[in-house]
C-alpha cells in the first residue's frame, strides 16, 4: 500500500516511525526539534498523539489526583492537557515536517482528533493498542479511506479479530503492529514470534511497535519481516513526562535506522547460489582431485594414486571414485590437480 508517496509492504524498505508521541511535554519548540532530529536520522515518519481530553475520559478520571513521579499536573486531566498541542501548532509542525521531507503522522484518540488530523492532511492513521476494542472509533478511522496502522498490545486474539473485521469492512489498507503495552517491556514478554501468528491469521502486512530498552529486538523484528517499525524517541530520557524513560534518545534512533537498513541489505534474495564475489575465495579454499603420486601415461588409475587437495578450480572431490580404473592418456606429475578431461579417458 502507499503511505503518501511511499510504498509499504513485504519486500520493500521498512517504514520507520519515530514516535515523538507526547515527548514534547506540551512545548512546541521541543516538538519542532523532535521533527528535525527524526528527519536527520532518516526516519520515514515522525508521529505525535492527538487527544480531545474531555472526549476520552469521564469527569472522575479527569479530576483524579495524579501522583506519578512523571506527572505534569496535579490531576490526571490537567496532566493530559499539559501534554496537548493546539491545532494551530499542529499546522506549523505539519508544515515543518514537509519542509524536512518526512511524513507527519499522529494517532487520533477520539473522533474529533481524527477529523482534525484528516483535515490536516496526514497520509495515514495510527490507532493505539488502547483502541483495539473501540470499534466505533476504528470504523470512523477506516472510513477516512487512508491506510490504517493498528497496534495490538494488551488485546486478545478475539478482540483483534473484531478490530480487523471492523476496519476491513470499510478499508483494505490495514497494517497490524505486534506490540506489548508495558513501559519498558521486559525482553522475555515481547514474543516476537507473535508477528508470524498475526501474519498467518490475517494475511495482512505485519509490523512491530516496541517499548523495550535498546534496539536489538526492533532490529530482529525487521529480520522477521516487519514492514513497519515504530519506536518512541526523546531528546532526553531524563526529562519529566510519561514516556521518556521508555524511549530511545536520538543517537539510539539513528543506530536503529542504520541497523534496520543494514539488515534489509543482508536479507537480499531468497535464491541460493554462488555469489560472483565468492568465486576467488572458493577457488582458494575449496578442494579438487589431485595426484598423490606421479601417474604415467598408460597406467590404470588406482585409489592410491589420488588425493583431495586445494585449490578448488579442478575436478570436484565427488569425481574421485569415477577416476579409479581409468587409463591415463597423459603423464600427470605428483601433487598436481587431475585434468578435467581425465573423466573421459
- Report DSSP letters for 155-168, one per residue: --HHHHHHHHHHHH
- Domains recognised in the chain with CATH numbers: 11-267 (3.20.20.70), 276-344 (3.90.1210.10)
Pairing mode of beta strands 228-234, 15-21: parallel
List per-residue pLDDT tens for the chain, 345 residues long. 999 999 999 999 999 999 999 999 999 999 999 999 999 999 999 999 999 999 999 999 999 999 888 899 999 999 999 999 999 999 999 999 999 999 999 999 999 999 999 999 999 999 999 999 999 999 999 999 999 999 999 999 999 999 999 999 999 999 999 999 998 999 999 999 999 999 999 999 999 999 999 999 999 999 999 999 999 999 999 998 888 988 999 999 999 999 999 999 999 988 999 999 999 999 999 999 999 999 999 999 999 999 999 999 999 999 999 999 999 999 999 999 999 999 999
E strand or H helix that includes residue 82: helix 76-82
Quick check: bond before 184 cis, omega within 30? yes
> How many CB atoms within 10 Å of residue 341?
10
Amino acid at each position: 500500500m502507499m503511505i503518501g508517496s511511499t510504498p509499504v509492504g513485504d519486500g520493500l524498505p521498512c517504514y520507520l516511525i519515530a514516535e515523538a508521541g507526547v515527548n514534547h511535554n506540551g512545548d512546541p519548540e521541543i516538538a519542532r526539534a523532535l521533527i528535525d532530529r527524526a528527519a536527520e536520522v532518516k526516519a520515514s515518519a515522525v508521529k505525535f498523539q492527538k487527544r480531545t481530553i474531555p472526549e476520552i475520559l469521564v469527569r472522575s478520571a479527569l479530576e483524579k489526583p495524579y501522583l506519578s513521579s512523571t506527572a505534569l499536573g496535579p490531576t490526571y486531566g490537567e496532566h493530559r492537557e499539559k501534554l496537548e498541542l493546539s491545532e494551530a501548532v499542529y499546522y506549523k509542525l505539519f508544515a515543518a515536517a514537509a519542509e524536512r521531507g518526512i511524513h507527519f503522522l499522529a494517532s487520533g484518540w477520539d473522533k474529533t482528533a481524527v477529523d482534525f488530523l484528516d483535515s490536516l492532511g496526514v497520509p495515514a492513521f495510527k490507532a493505539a493498542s488502547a483502541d483495539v476494542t473501540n470499534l466505533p472509533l476504528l470504523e470512523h478511522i477506516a472510513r477516512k479511506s487512508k491506510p490504517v496502522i493498528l497496534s495490538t498490545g494488551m488485546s486478545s486474539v478475539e478482540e483483534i479479530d473484531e478490530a480487523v473485521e471492523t476496519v476491513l469492512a470499510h478499508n483494505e489498507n490495514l497494517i497490524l503492529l505486534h506490540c506489548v503495552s508495558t513501559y519498558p517491556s521486559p525482553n522475555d514478554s515481547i514474543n516476537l514470534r507473535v508477528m508470524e501468528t498475526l501474519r498467518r491469521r490475517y494475511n495482512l502486512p505485519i509490523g512491530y511497535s516496541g517499548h523495550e530498552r535498546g534496539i536489538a529486538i526492533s532490529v530482529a523484528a525487521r529480520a522477521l519481516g516487519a514492514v513497519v517499525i515504530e519506536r518512541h524517541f526523546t531528546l532526553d530520557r531524563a526529562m519529566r513526562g510519561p514516556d521518556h524513560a521508555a524511549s530511545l534518545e536520538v543517537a539510539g534512533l539513528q543506530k536503529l535506522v542504520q541497523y534496520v537498513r543494514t539488515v534489509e541489505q543482508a536479507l537480499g534474495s531468497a535464491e541460493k547460489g554462488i555469489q560472483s564475489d565468492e568465486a576467488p575465495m572458493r577457488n582458494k579454499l575449496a578442494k579438487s582431485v589431485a595426484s598423490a603420486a606421479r601417474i604415467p601415461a598408460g597406467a590404470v588409475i588406482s585409489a592410491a594414486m589420488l588425493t583431495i587437495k586445494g585449490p578448488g578450480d579442478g575436478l570436484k572431490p565427488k569425481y574421485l571414485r569415477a577416476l579409479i580404473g581409468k587409463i591415463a592418456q597423459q603423464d600427470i606429475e605428483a601433487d598436481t590437480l587431475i585434468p578435467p578431461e581425465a573423466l573421459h579417458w
